[in-house]
Amino acid sequence: MATFWRILSAERLKMSKSYVWVLMAGSPAIALLLGALADMQEEEQVTWQVLLSVMSMAHAMLFLPILSGIFAALVCRAEHSDGGWKALLSLPVTRSSVYLAKYTLIMGMLAAVQLLFLAALLGIGFLREAEGPVPWPLILSSVFGGWFACLPLAALQLGVSQGWASFGAPLAVNVSLTLPNILIANSATYGPYYPWVQPLLAMSPFGEEQFGAFNLPMETLMLVVLGSLLLFLSAGLISFWRKPV
């Protein structure tokens, strides 16, 4: 356990020297702008539910899946250059500790993104005087659900990034698989099992009249996410154990 925390600390220091903080603030900033520009009918008052729907759409549909791929590529970038994997794995560390530390860092950065999104939602809601009290259960379940739904996606993309020396190739694949999200989300059959669309489903306000995979109960979606996480994380760990250095 001590080894894991030392590796995690070292990984965090490596990330602190990059521009990752700009990336983390980018999507919440765009969501903030969308919330500020959201047009309501003259007779309608801004509601928290509407703001959450407007702000979470692009954030969860495009930016969260893409950011998870960027973060996965970034945490492996240094090791892919100048024999970094060989130098790292020659130290008295276990491969499991290295892999899980990198995965934990990815999820930590995604958690920071979600907290910034929460701050943006609350800020624009108070600024536009959203109707009624803050619906904390709805908002917190949406923010946490979006982060939780990224668990299998981050595991999948870390497995791809540690296996491919190219920085751009995993990102290109990730973006190409993210773009069909809105179409796949319309399918109640395939949408819940597509890792790139799961954050969108989890962040969408439940309890309303919706269509396709958006009608899926939150509990069912979380079970699918957990099953996908176990599959992708196990596959990534096995691949990393077998990785030649």
In tens, the pLDDT along 212-225 reads 566 677 788 889 99
Q: List the domain boundaries for the chain.
A: 2-241
DSSP-derived 3-state class of residue 96: helix
Q: What's the DSSP call for residue 61?
A: I
pLDDT of residue 244: 77
d(CA 123, CA 128): 9
Q: Record the tokens describing residue 70, joined without a space.
A: 């960027």
Residue 20, both tokens: 């990752």
pLDDT, tens digit (0-9, with 9 covering 90-100), for 153-166: 999 999 999 988 88
Considering the chain, what is the average pLDDT of its residues?
89
Residue 184 has pLDDT above 60, yes or no: yes
- Which tokens go with 5? 């925390």
Q: Cβ of 134: how many Cβ atoms within 10 Å?
A: 14
Q: Name the amino acid, one letter, at 200.
A: L
Q: How many CB atoms lie within 10 A of CB 100?
A: 19
> What are the residues facing 114 on neighbouring strands?
none
pTM for this model (two decimals): 0.93
Mean pLDDT of 32-43: 78
- pLDDT at residue 107 is higher than 60: yes
